Structure 1
Amino acid sequence: MRRWIKFFGVAALMMSASVNAGDVDPTRHRLHATTDKVEIESYSKASGAPADVAVIELERQTLAQDGIDALREEFNDRLAGLYWTDYPNQAINIRLTGAAFVAPRKIETAAGNVPVVFTLGAPMTLAEQSIRLKRSWPALKAMLPGLIGAGIDERDGSVSIDIRSPVADPKPFEDEKANIEQVLGMPVRFSVHSLETDT
């Protein structure tokens, strides 16, 4: 699961309310080999997990959601990013600002436990990054012709900038990378799309 906060001129950061993982009815979230075949095969192909393992890991992702919401609320003032890693080491990874230690945890689900791993020392929270990106939007539009969107990658705190250009060549934009990073105060990467695609 990759969470992206997308910006198309205006940004909003949504935080979920906390619910106990134990309150979830596990029978509601069971995958079925037939009806969920595409999802299972897609996850298996992307992660390399055998089909039977893919089923379990997908179920954990669904069943752990309330626990994830609780973690987002608990660490709201330090949260720099939260994302899944998949097979063979499925876990929830949480990036935090500051150096205050947080011991690894687990979320218990009917499909098995999900480890929660914390990484400390992020330079700013996701909320702070979102505000900065929103405030910088007019400057980015002026600096980057064809700008269509930007998102914060919770895995590393970088900003992915989407651009539509007559020629899908990132080189002209890479030349502006240092200036863009100075404006944002965050590392950036570009994704350039041809005008013929993405209508």
Structure 2
Amino acid sequence: MLMTLIRATASALLVIGMATASVAQVVPPSAGGAARVQLPVDALMQDAAEYAQRFGVPFDEAMRRMRAQGDSVPATDALRETFKDRWAGIAIEHLPNYRIVVLLTGTDPVVEQSVMAGGMTVPIVFRTGAAATREAVLAAITRYQAKIRDSLPHPPGLGVDQRTGELVVMTASADADLDRNGELRARIAAMTGVPVRIDIVDRPPVDMAQDQVAPVPTLIPAPVDSGAIEGGARVIGTVDGKRYACTTGFVVSDGVRNGVVTAAHCPDTLSYVGKRFSDGGREEWPLAFVGQWGWGYQDVQVNVATAPDVSYAPLFYADTAKTLARPVATWRYRTSTRAGDFVCHRGERTGYSCAVIAMVDFAPAGDLCGGACLPTWVAVEGPTCKAGDSGAPVFEGSTALGLVKGGTYRRDGTCLFYYYMSTDYLPQGWTLLHR
């Protein structure tokens, strides 16, 4: 679990908030030819293979569990409504057995239930005795975030751990002495009136990294029949003479224009880098800046191709080598997302990887959202994220989930967790292009 991991490695953490600029080691696109579009079963099998490796279960069991993850969402949405007055959290547990755990306030027991999902019976276990509802913890963050930030030399990250029902305060290691004998935890708990846990990290995230990417191969205008703009691809831009790389998220439309989204902290004017040719050149489309939304709960911008004959596809690359693309079939709201969900992302720096959601209600440390971030970001466990993944699509199968914003890293450069903006918060008037 993320918080356990944080406590175990606190002395070796290096936190970098934004995953924007990429230095040379960018995953190359496939050499020539269009990516193969996956069928839903292909996408499921690819993610299930990652799941099987992560949890050490047979492939067929992983397939059932991945199906169950998506199929069980309506049931857990209904449970949230049924127990809304007692709801403290929900999490998917994978070991020793696959099950859904619901955390409730109060002491009245609830009989264990189950749901048929993905061709398997998924147990639903209820744990009672939580000290505060999820809404109460979120309200405490909203009300006291400024006071908590002002009370510490380094503004901490804040979140709701739905496994335990605690308000998690992620403080910089430089402030660790403030919690000697639990003093900081007790003070914040008394202030907020909800259970609090202090997790120590090395230092809070910083804004856009200033790494300059290596020179790219010669870019040539893309021929009309060469393909289409997709998610999960490389975009580059220049700010103050330095070149940055980010990742496209998903293709969007406002009903009149089609465009592509990435993170708002990426350069405004971008070029979309397509397939690579045998002579070392790459096709490229200039992308004009439409707008950006980067305050509080958003980190997203829209760009559109300037050439009139460029096409768009409701697809995103779904493998490291960019040989596979997935159609966007649907999307999932953040309220339906659960701690423990197994999700994937395809970043331009790191390629394709999958991991478990740690927190659904997370406010990154520092001032990465034009000031304090709201607790609307979704944190996903590492170990794979690096600068250059900003804007990358986060997905489950063919379900779009969000866009990567930033990450936290250990001193050795490995990723502790990354966080993404849910597709709930796409700019008003723009929707996902889907099949």
1:196 Cα deviation after fit: 7.5
Match of 2:152 among 141, 144, 148: 144
Gaps of 5+ in 1: 3-28
In the alignment, residue 167 of structure 2 is paired with which amino acid?
A: V
Identify if the C-alpha distance between structure 1 residues 110 and 120 changes in structure 2 by more than 3 Å, giving closer, same or farther.
same
- Give 1:88's aligned residue: 96
- Give 1:77's aligned residue: 85
- Give 2:133's aligned residue: 125
Identify if the C-alpha distance between structure 1 residues 148 and 64 changes in structure 2 by more than 3 Å, giving closer, same or farther.
same
- Give 1:171's aligned residue: 176
C-alpha contact (below 8 Å) 1:40/1:54 kept by paired residues: yes
Aligned equivalents of 2:133, 2:204: Cα separation in 1: 34
Percent identical residues: 26
Aligned equivalents of 2:60, 2:132: Cα separation in 1: 39
C-alpha contact (below 8 Å) 1:80/1:154 kept by paired residues: yes
Identify if the C-alpha distance between structure 1 residues 63 and 173 changes in structure 2 by more than 3 Å, giving closer, same or farther.
farther
Aligned equivalents of 2:199, 2:178: Cα separation in 1: 7
Aligned equivalents of 1:145, 1:39: Cα separation in 2: 42
Aligned equivalents of 1:64, 1:133: Cα separation in 2: 29
Aligned equivalents of 1:110, 1:57: Cα separation in 2: 7
1:44 aligns with 2:49: no
C-alpha contact (below 8 Å) 1:80/1:126 kept by paired residues: yes
**Residue deviations 1:71-101 (CA, integer Å, cap 9, x gap):** 1111111111111111431111111112223
Gaps of 5+ in 2: 3-38, 209-435
Structure holding more helix per residue: 1
Identify if the C-alpha distance between structure 1 residues 150 and 196 changes in structure 2 by more than 3 Å, giving closer, same or farther.
closer
Aligned equivalents of 1:147, 1:38: Cα separation in 2: 39
**Residue deviations 1:16-44 (CA, integer Å, cap 9, x gap):** xxxxxxxxxxxxx9643xx3455324322
C-alpha contact (below 8 Å) 1:92/1:114 kept by paired residues: yes
- Give 1:192's aligned residue: 201
- Give 1:153's aligned residue: 161
Give the length in aligned residue pairs. 168
Q: Normalising to structure 2: TM-score of the pair?
A: 0.35
Aligned equivalents of 2:97, 2:191: Cα separation in 1: 36
Structure holding more strand per residue: 2
C-alpha contact (below 8 Å) 1:95/1:119 kept by paired residues: yes
**Residue deviations 1:25-69 (CA, integer Å, cap 9, x gap):** xxxx9643xx34553243223322222211111110111001110
Q: What does 1:6-45 correspond to in 2, within 5 Å? A: 31-32=41-42, 35-36=43-44, 39-45=47-53
Moved segments of 4+, more than 4 Å: 195-199
Q: Normalising to structure 1: TM-score of the pair?
A: 0.72
Identify if the C-alpha distance between structure 1 residues 53 and 181 changes in structure 2 by more than 3 Å, giving closer, same or farther.
same
Aligned equivalents of 2:205, 2:74: Cα separation in 1: 41
Identify if the C-alpha distance between structure 1 residues 195 and 110 changes in structure 2 by more than 3 Å, giving closer, same or farther.
closer
In the alignment, residue 197 of structure 2 is paired with which amino acid?
A: V
Aligned equivalents of 2:98, 2:130: Cα separation in 1: 22
Identify if the C-alpha distance between structure 1 residues 170 and 49 changes in structure 2 by more than 3 Å, giving closer, same or farther.
farther
In the alignment, residue 174 of structure 1 is paired with which amino acid?
A: D
Higher radius of gyration, 1 or 2: 2
1:102 aligns with 2:110: yes
